């Protein structure tokens, strides 16, 4: 017995099957989401930082919703950014459309690249199970 349960929205089943990781796991009243990059058709990064960031947050929202949770349940968020300083103002504008007070703990980390070519941000969260 693994001690956790996978959370896989139907729209993410292919990711689970092809990449061999769960969009989220549930254990001891907590949800642990894998990182989400703002991708479109064919798994390619969406053009335009604002649109890509919004798609990434909608992807996180999809997985949280499958688990019966939402952004209000997020206790920690870690974001990985290509071009952190260049895009942080746009990212924060989009983030504030999804994440409201009381704000979760948040760490933003600059990286040189992500798994999806052209990806500018990967968002990973930990949430309490409502």
What is the structure's pLDDT at 1? 53
Domain boundaries, position 16: 5-128
Q: Are residues 129 and 69 in contact, defined by beta-carbon separation less than 8 angstroms?
A: yes
Question: What CATH number is associated with residue 95?
Answer: 3.30.1330.40
Distance CA 120, CA 50 (A): 10
Q: Bridge-partner residues for 126, per DSSP?
A: 32, 76
Distance CA 77, CA 45 (A): 21
Distance CA 130, CA 5 (A): 15
Q: What is the mean pLDDT of residues 5-23?
A: 92
Give the pLDDT confidence of 43-70 residue by residue, as tens digits.
Answer: 899 999 999 999 999 999 999 999 999 9
């Amino acid at each position: 017995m693994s001690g956790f349960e996978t959370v896989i929205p139907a729209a993410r089943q292919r990711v689970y099957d092809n990449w061999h990781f769960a969009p989220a796991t549930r254990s001891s009243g907590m949800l642990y989401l894998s990182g989400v990059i703002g991708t479109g058709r064919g798994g390619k990064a969406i053009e335009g930082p604002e649109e890509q960031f919004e798609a990434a947050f909608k992807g996180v929202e999809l997985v949280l919703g499958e688990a019966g949770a939402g952004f209000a349940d997020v206790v920690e968020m870690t974001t990985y950014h290509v071009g952190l300083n260049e895009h942080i103002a746009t990212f924060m504008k989009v983030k504030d459309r999804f994440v409201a007070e009381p704000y979760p703990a948040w760490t933003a980390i600059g990286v040189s690249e992500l798994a999806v070519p052209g990806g500018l941000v990967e968002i990973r969260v930990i949430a309490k199970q409502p």
